[in-house]
Structure 1
Amino acid sequence: MAESVPGARSQTDVVIESIKGMLTRGELKPGSRLPIERDLASLLGVSRGSLREGVRALATLGVLETRQGDGTYVTALDPAVLLSPLGFLADLQQPAHAADLLAVRRVLEAESVSLAATRLTDADLENLDEILGRVDRALENEDEMDLEEFIQADTEFHRAIALASGNPPLAALIDALVGRTFRARLWRAISNRGSVRETQGEHRAIFDELVRRDPGRARIRMSTHLLGVEQFSAAHAGEDPEAH
Structure 2
Amino acid sequence: MSRPMSRTDEVVDGIKKMILDGRLHPGDRLPVEKDLATELGVSRGSLREGVRALSILGVLDTRQGDGTYVTSLDPERLLAPMGFVVDLHGQSGAESFHAVRRLLETEAAGLAAQHIDAAGLAEARAILDSAAAALREDPLDHERLLEMDIAFHRAIATAAGNPVLAALVESLASRTVRARLWRSRTDEDVARRTHDEHEAVLAALAAGDPDRARLRMAVHLLGVEDFVHGSEPD
Band the TM-score falls in, shorter-chain normalisation: over 0.9
Q: 1:40 to 1:217 in 2, by over 3 A?
A: same
Q: 1:192 to 1:8 in 2, by over 3 A?
A: same
Matches within 5 A, 1:82-101: 82-101=78-97
- Residues in 1 aligned to 2:79 and 2:226: alpha-carbon distance in whole angstroms: 27
Q: How many residues align?
A: 234
Q: 1:10 to 1:232 in 2, by over 3 A?
A: same
> Deviation per CA, 1:125-175, whole angstroms, max 9, x where unpaired?
11111111122223334x522122111111111011111112112111111
Partner of 2:103: 107
- Residues in 1 aligned to 2:194 and 2:160: alpha-carbon distance in whole angstroms: 21
- Residues in 1 aligned to 2:120 and 2:162: alpha-carbon distance in whole angstroms: 15
Matches within 5 A, 1:137-148: 137-141=133-137, 143-148=138-143
Partner of 1:235: 230
Maintained 8 Å contact 1:95/1:240: no
- Residues in 2 aligned to 1:190 and 1:93: alpha-carbon distance in whole angstroms: 23
Q: 1:231 to 1:43 in 2, by over 3 A?
A: same
> Deviation per CA, 1:201-232, whole angstroms, max 9, x where unpaired?
11001000110111121111111110111011
Partner of 2:208: 213
Return the index of the structure with the highest Cα Rg.
Answer: 1
Partner of 1:177: 172
- Residues in 1 aligned to 2:2 and 2:81: alpha-carbon distance in whole angstroms: 28
- SS of equivalent residue, structure 1 residue 202: helix
Partner of 2:115: 119
Partner of 1:29: 25
| TM-score, with length taken from structure 1 | 0.89
| 1:196 and 2:183 are equivalent in the alignment | no
- Residues in 1 aligned to 2:192 and 2:64: alpha-carbon distance in whole angstroms: 52
- Residues in 2 aligned to 1:150 and 1:173: alpha-carbon distance in whole angstroms: 22
Question: What percentage of residue pairs aligned between the two structures are identical?
Answer: 52
- Residues in 2 aligned to 1:57 and 1:30: alpha-carbon distance in whole angstroms: 17
**Bigger Cα displacement from structure 2, 125-134 vs 60-69:** 60-69
- SS of equivalent residue, structure 1 residue 93: helix
Structure 1 unaligned segments of length 5 or more: list them: none
Maintained 8 Å contact 1:116/1:166: yes
